[in-house]
Amino acid sequence: MRLRKPAAIAAGTAVTLVVAFGLAACGVWTTSVTEAEFTKELAIPPLAESTVEDGVRTFDLTAQKGSTEFPSQDGPTETWGFNGEFLGPTLRAERGEKVAVDVTNDLDEPTSVHWHGMHLPATMDGGPHQMIEPGQTWKPHWTIDQAAATLWYHRHPHGKTEDHVYKGLAGMVILDDDATRSAELPHEYGVDDLPLIVQDKSFDDGQLELSHDGAEPGMLGDTVMVNGTIGGVQEVTSEKVRMRLLNGSTARTYAFEFPDRSMDLIAGDGGLLEEPAEVDRLRLAPGERAEVVVDFTAGETVRLRSAEVDLGGVAVPATMGGHDSFDVLEFRAAEILTPAPEPTWSPSSHVEEDALVEAEAAKTRKFELEDREINGERMDMNRIDEVAYVGDTEVWEVRSKQPIPHSFHIHDVQFDVLSVDGEAPPVEMSGRKDTIYLEPNRDYRLLMRFEDFTDPTMPYMYHCHMLLHEDEGMMGQFVVIGRGQEAEVGAPAGHEGGGREH
């Protein structure tokens, strides 16, 4: 059973919550996940091929339709992918490299590709202003100038991001730098350094079903997959395994854990922490990433789980996935494991230039999320909501004012979480971030700096990464300019305002 929402969002939210309270009082949960049989070898996305010419590393991505065989489905399922049937290859590059991506759209509708977590010019960002028409190729290019990190790329067409990502248009990006190259960390891709794209789906007559029935915070699928594999099994050959966890779901928040052991958290969205942090459980909202190192013992079989997740002060967590718990991935350790050192690393040579200093903040901005609006406005492609100056450090204070899950993502920058309700942030929010889960009615202070790129007419986005919310208008636009460019500020013309009709 799913909850439904009338056309008027504010009124619908109130009705939904009242009904949800009644269902919960009767012991009725409205989400569930089917436990998989763990029998299939985990698919590892291939590393994307590239060519280097005149000092530029160029990748090729083609968005295309495909079909995928999933267990328990009768016949092939229609999917979308990059350079394949479902999902896409992993792009890998180093800090200081010049990169380019030739992105071809072989679909029969326009789309775009956003480099989530990447610092790059607004014209290369791949937001809703950089649409690629069917049969056309887009050629963004930039220089990698940020810390080593696990990022990702996904479709970002205005009003249709949820649909395009759900069908499979997403992939991982790995950035390396001097710190990771010299670190004592598992590093053999696909062996002891694993990309893990976790998503939930639902099927109807063998096809992917994306229901727009009014459930909050969007549709929660009853089937969980990793890298497109349902019931995946990964063979372990080393005492330690590095897991690059990406929540690639459109609405579900996970609480990852191994029930019988802790994990060493080594990196968040934007790169390595100062040192490993031991955690028992790790909450990741849609769009968030984290890297952990896990110890294994020869001959054992263990599973990565998603436990019941603390969603904060949401109204009736049972209707929003908070009470769901399920196995995600099985690990089978060999009888003899390769020894591995404890995770350690030295700071990057860029650590001082990358540092953010709160005392240098030139401005504080406030953002309130409520009823598919940010600061009382729904997304309008022709409106610039905020103007920042290049070189400035700012504090953004962000708050969700309604008791449903939201996650907040800012394009172009990586930020530090200064505090949550005036207190030090929890360990999973340490390190650089670009996406953060917002517990309702709590204040999050985020510190960031706008560097390198100015463009008074091409905006970056900030938005809720619950993709239904984004598509229905919970998104705004900001430009970064130099002083003296104020009169030039204005969004590109020719776009319709608002989000997906609802």
Note the pLDDT tens digit of each residue in 349-359: 999 999 999 99
233 within a domain of the structure (yes/no): no
pLDDT at residue 502 above 80?
A: no
Q: In what order do the strands lie in the sheet with 326-338?
A: 40-41, 232-238, 326-338, 301-306, 254-257, 282-284
CB burial of residue 66 (10 Å; 0-12, 13-18, 19+): middle
Q: What per-residue confidence (pLDDT) applies to 309?
A: 97
392 within a domain of the structure (yes/no): yes
Q: What per-residue confidence (pLDDT) applies to 214?
A: 80
426 within a domain of the structure (yes/no): yes
Q: How many residues does the chain have?
A: 502
Domain harbouring 387, CATH code: 2.60.40.420
Q: Which of 237, 246, 256, 228 is nearest to 173 (CA)?
A: 246
pLDDT grade, residue 156 (50/70/90)?
confident
Q: What per-residue confidence (pLDDT) applies to 32?
A: 83
Average pLDDT of the chain, as a whole number? 92
Give dist(CA 82, CA 102) in Å, integer: 12
Q: What per-residue confidence (pLDDT) applies to 84?
A: 97
pLDDT at residue 191 above 70?
A: yes
pLDDT grade, residue 143 (50/70/90)?
very high
Q: Which of 500, 397, 498 is nearest to 447 (CA)?
A: 397
Q: What per-residue confidence (pLDDT) applies to 432?
A: 97
Q: Alpha-carbon Rg of the chain, whole angstroms?
A: 22
Amino acid at 76: P
Task: List residues bridging with 91 in a β-sheet.
Answer: 173
For residues 253-262, give the mean pLDDT. 97
141-155, 213-227, 324-338, 380-394: segment of lowest average pLDDT: 213-227
Query: Any residues with CB less than 8 A from the CB of 289 and at least 6 apart, and which?
Result: 117, 149, 150, 151, 152, 244, 245, 246, 247, 268, 269
19-33, 36-50, 52-66: segment of lowest average pLDDT: 19-33
101 within a domain of the structure (yes/no): no
Give dist(CA 500, CA 502) in Å, integer: 6
Task: List residues bridging with 77 in a β-sheet.
Answer: 68
Q: Which of 219, 402, 403 is nearest to 321 (CA)?
A: 219
pLDDT grade, residue 232 (50/70/90)?
very high
| Residue pair 315/286 in contact by the 8 Å Cβ criterion | no
| Residue pair 115/414 in contact by the 8 Å Cβ criterion | no
Q: Taking the CB of residue 314, how many other CB atoms lie within 10 A of it?
A: 25
Q: What per-residue confidence (pLDDT) applies to 26?
A: 44
Q: What does the pLDDT look like over 449-497, one tens digit per residue?
A: 999 999 999 999 999 999 999 999 999 999 999 999 999 999 886 555 4
Amino acid at 380: D
397 within a domain of the structure (yes/no): yes
Give me the percent of the chain exceeding a pLDDT of 70.
Answer: 92
For residue 273, the surrounding DSSP H or E stretch is strand 271-279
479 within a domain of the structure (yes/no): yes
Q: What per-residue confidence (pLDDT) applies to 16?
A: 47
Q: How many structural domains is the chain composed of?
A: 1
Domain range for 441 is: 358-485
Give the three-state DSSP class for 190.
Answer: coil
266 within a domain of the structure (yes/no): no
- Show the tokens assigned to 110: 């326009």
427 within a domain of the structure (yes/no): yes
